Amino acid sequence: MQSKVIPKLIENESFGSPFIIEGTSRGTTYDLAVDFAKKILLRYSSPTTAIKLEKGSHPDFFIFKPEGARSMHSIADIKRLIDDAVMPPFEGKYKVYLIVDSEAMLPIHANALLKTLEDKNDHTVIILTTTDSTELLPTIVSRCKVITLNEGAEGPPIDPEFQSQVNHLLQEAASRNFTTAFTKISPIEKAIENGGLCKMEEFIDLVLLFYRDILLQAKQYPPFDKINRLTSQIALGYQRHIKIKTLIEQVVISFSA
């Protein structure tokens, strides 16, 4: 499930308001919120950021989930967020706090969070997920930008010409026809230059789909670590303004291993 809003927010660094991601599926909203957070942290990052995010050890990414028999957010977690949010990032430009299933906050705990939501620092990004924003305090919702997902609607289709160009490139690379593959980079590079972040995300999605298909045909288990590491490196490289041609070449070369 993709959101048309999130790539624009990242590209423009529009993080002034806290965010509520609302959708009918808890899993979908959580996955999208985590992906949103990781892309923010990758935008200004150190060489080890992608590895730390993959391992769940990034010092500027905090996830708060309901806990205990009642499956509620604890006051200890809310206080920790409030106290920590005033501190600068440990590395990079931003700190990101994700409050999962934010409707599971008692009103007294949600009220304690209001000032932090309203007066947060520029380096602090706060994301809340919920299946129903009407279950949140109106004072919480009014301080946030609400991103509502429509899981029943399909996103815009990938341009068939771009999809064909990428697939031909990957097919040549998978066949180890690297010289031919390198000749197919230019139109893909231009399409990403013109389409920006959304086009790069399409490219990464097509790479993931291609890897999945060839591995299924070979009746092998997908080496998710390798694939995730590759796509994380591509996303990180794009955010750090590495040449698009170089990033596409990195994908081609990955088939030589």
Query: pLDDT tens across 227-238, in order?
Result: 767 888 888 888
The pLDDT score that the predictor gives to residue 237 is 85
* Residue 153, in any domain of the structure: no
Q: Check whether residue 103 and residue 28 sit in a common domain.
A: yes
Q: Last residue of a domain, which of 148, 168, 202?
A: 148
Confidence of residue 257 (pLDDT cuts 50, 70, 90): low
- Does the pLDDT at position 156 exceed 70? no
pTM (predicted TM-score): 0.62
What's the pLDDT at 177?
93
In a domain, 154, yes or no: no
Within a domain: 172: yes
Please tell me whether residues 82 and 199 are part of one structural domain.
Answer: no
Counted domains in the chain: 2
pLDDT for res 140: 93
**Residue that terminates a domain, selected from 148, 179, 205:** 148
Same structural domain, 104 and 208: no
Q: Which of 37, 15, 29, 33 is closest to 144 using CA atoms?
A: 15
Cα–Cα distance list, 116 to 18, 110, 124, 125, 194 (Å): 10, 10, 10, 11, 38
**Looking at the structure, do residues 18 and 102 belong to the same domain, yes or no?**
yes
Least confident of 125-134, 168-177, 179-188, 199-208: 199-208
| Statement to judge: residues 170 and 221 lie in one domain | yes
Residue 37 counted as domain residue: yes
Q: What is the mean pLDDT of the chain?
A: 86
Mean pLDDT, residues 184-192 taken together: 95
Does residue 211 sit within a domain?
A: yes
Q: Are residues 136 and 178 in the same domain?
A: no
pLDDT band at 157; cut points 50, 70, 90 = low
The CATH number of residue 28's host domain is: 3.40.50.300
Q: Looking at the structure, tell me whether residues 118 and 199 fall in a common domain.
A: no
Residue 25, domain member (yes or no): yes
Q: Domain boundary residue among 148, 170, 193?
A: 148
Provide the residue range defining the domain that includes 200: 160-254
Same domain flag for 138 and 220: no
Q: What is the pLDDT of residues 115-134, one digit of tens each?
A: 999 999 999 999 999 998 99
Question: What Rg, from alpha-carbon coordinates, does the chain have?
Answer: 20
pLDDT in tens, 52-98: 888 889 999 999 999 887 889 999 999 999 999 999 999 889 999 99
Instruction: Say whether pLDDT at 34 is over 60.
Output: yes
Q: Is residue 130 located within the same domain as residue 215?
A: no
Residue 132: phi, psi to the nearest 5?
-160, 105
**pLDDT higher than threshold 50 for residue 4:** yes
Question: What's the CA gap between 115 and 133, in Å, rounded?
Answer: 19
Q: Which residues contact 16 (CB under 8 A, 6 or more apart)?
A: 122
Please report whether residue 116 resides in a domain.
yes
**31 found inside a domain:** yes
**Is 133 found in the same domain as 241?**
no
Percent of the chain with pLDDT over 70: 89
| 182 and 233 within one domain | yes
Task: Answer yes or no: is pLDDT of 218 > 70.
Answer: no
Beta-carbon neighbour count of residue 242 at 10 Å? 14
Residues 97 and 199 in one domain: no
